[in-house]
Amino acid sequence: MPASPADLAVLGAGPAGLAAAAAASRAGANVVVIDGNSRVGGQYWRHRDGDTGRGHHHWSVLTGLRAAVPEFLGGHQVWHVERIGDGFAVHTSGGEVRCRALIVATGAYDRQLPFPGWTLPGVFTAGGAQALLKGHGVTAGRRIVVAGTGPFLLPVAAGLADAGAHVVGVFEAGSPRGFVRHPGALLANPGKLGEGAGYLRTLMRHRIPYRTRTTVAAAHGTESVSSATVATLDADWRVLRRREVECDAIAVGYGFTPQLEIPLQLGCATRLDADGSLVARADDQQRATVPGVYLAGEVCGVGGAPLSLVEGELAGLHAAWTTIGAAPDNARVGRLLRRRRANRAFAAALHDAHPVRPGWLTWLDGQTQLCRCEEVTVDRVRESIVDLGATDTRAVKLLARPGMGLCQGRVCGYATSCFVADACGRQPTEQDLLGVAARPIAQPVTLGELARD
Ligand SMILES: Cc1cc2nc3c(=O)[nH]c(=O)nc-3n(C[C@H](O)[C@H](O)[C@H](O)COP(=O)(O)OP(=O)(O)OC[C@H]3O[C@@H](n4cnc5c(N)ncnc54)[C@H](O)[C@@H]3O)c2cc1C
């Protein structure tokens, strides 16, 4: 733990945080990187001890960045950040860290949509199934169905198949043909296209069917999942046909939700992104709307590891400029801004090709749990709207308790907001999502840690 305040504390050691820390450190700033995980790399480079990088993309980028980061506090969950004088106090599970400026690069987590049976053991988020594999070498099951929307389903299925699981199929609710509306964005990012083609080759090698306009609309089983209803969908995701497939695990993902607790604790302004996520606002220097706070990576919009790297470097260069006066090289900044534009165009194309369509609400029955922590069913949420007159997510939360449990709305917040908005005949708003995203304590914390700080 540094004795005097660091120039910069970087929260998150994924691609964005590492790139930020490396850039600021090379510019001469005194930087500390903090992450709840004991290893650097974030979601993209999640790995095990002794991992040599086999099977990881751009591993040498990770090792280069790691070498440029002098101080890493792994296993430190940040649960609150507050402004103290000219700087900040970062409260972590390992104690308090003081800094003059802050770069928040806390990434994102799986966005989930509920469906009947989704709380059965054996139903995983796609990211959860991948984290088990990358972090622990464990496959989520032996006979696995992968479903949801977005290109992330591909590395999940490919990884599971390569590790020996039988992947029954990849069921993509959307239609990736939407990408053809954005030829410029695709051509400017040949690396991502190549990566996608590599995953498809792996699926073909393992004879894994890839079906579009299809998803898992229900899971069945007693003790744990034993089968899934695979539904063919119309363009709005209403079910056209159903069939049942046997499986012992389901991995489902509908994109990602940016992890905004820290920016919201600090009062940073937000906006709705093209994929319907709440994201924190950042300018061309990656500055948040709060002085001294910089943002990088998926907290400012889900867009993939290359975009996170670019935003991280921009944030690190500008934060070093503000804190120690090391002016960045203009030509370098210009190149980074051009790459940011190209990567953001790619992300927008991706969101346009893989939107979450409202028909998913028709998969639910009255007993489907919207909030699994507090076991709040669809019927109870509907009652709070129809009988008790709630018209927004926050009121529904107070009346029916979705989002009041252990996860504090991380899992159910997006789906509950969509459900409430639909029941009230409108689209989910920034306010709806804010009502389930603000958490004064970002991570579970023990009473001992609270007392110590
Ligand atoms: C589950 C998951 C799996 C993914 N897998 C892939 C993949 O296989 N291929 C691919 O191309 N893209 C993948 N992505 C997308 C990709 O990870 C991102 O585009 C990229 O990693 C984003 O980089 P980042 O630095 O913004 O965030 P991350 O890589 O998410 O890094 C954020 C870091 O912040 C830390 N953190 C968050 N909150 C706190 C806190 N309160 N206290 C302390 N530390 C905190 C996290 O532990 C994490 O290490 C995945 C995303 C997710 C959510």
Look at residue 314 in the predicted model and tell me its pLDDT.
98
Mean pLDDT of 224-244: 97
- 37 CA distance to ligand 1 centroid (A)? 11
253 pLDDT band, cuts 50/70/90, is: very high
Ligand 1 binding pocket mutation candidate from 11, 38, 44 (most atoms within 8 A of CB): 44
Look at residue 143 in the predicted model and tell me its pLDDT.
98
**Residues with C-beta less than 6 Å from any ligand 1 atom:** 12-17, 34-37, 42-44, 77-78, 105-110, 127, 130-131, 152, 155, 256, 259, 297-298, 304-305, 308, 442-443
Mean pLDDT of 162-178: 93
- 412 CA distance to ligand 1 centroid (A)? 19
CB–CB of 110/126 below 8 Å?
Answer: yes
Q: Over 80: is that where the pLDDT of 311 sits?
A: yes
Amino acid code (one letter) for 171: F
Mean pLDDT of 82-103: 95
Q: What are the start-end ranges of the H helices in 216-329?
A: 261-265, 305-324
Look at residue 3 in the predicted model and tell me its pLDDT.
61
The residue ranking higher by pLDDT, 385 or 52, is: 385
Of 153, 181, 177, the residue nearest 167 (C-alpha): 153
Q: Over 80: is that where the pLDDT of 296 sits?
A: yes
Average pLDDT, the chain: 94
3-state secondary structure 304-373: CHHHHHHHHHHHHHHHHHHHHCCCCCHHHHHHHHHHHHHHHHHHHHHHHHCCCCHHHHHHCCCCCEEECC
CA 215-184-283 angle, 5° bins: 90
Ligand 1 binding pocket mutation candidate from 93, 106, 110, 308 (most atoms within 8 A of CB): 106
Look at residue 334 in the predicted model and tell me its pLDDT.
98
Look at residue 435 in the predicted model and tell me its pLDDT.
87
376 pLDDT band, cuts 50/70/90, is: very high
Mean pLDDT of 341-353: 91
Residue 306's CB is within 10 A of a number of other CB atoms, namely 21
**pLDDT tens digit sequence for 6-35:** 999 999 999 999 999 999 999 999 999 999
Burial of 180: CB neighbours in 10 Å, binned 0-12, 13-18, 19+: exposed
- 107 CA distance to ligand 1 centroid (A)? 5
**pLDDT tens digit sequence for 37-81:** 999 999 888 888 878 777 788 888 999 999 998 899 999 999 999
The residue ranking higher by pLDDT, 435 or 179, is: 435
- 171 CA distance to ligand 1 centroid (A)? 24
The residue ranking higher by pLDDT, 184 or 239, is: 239
SS3 for 380? helix
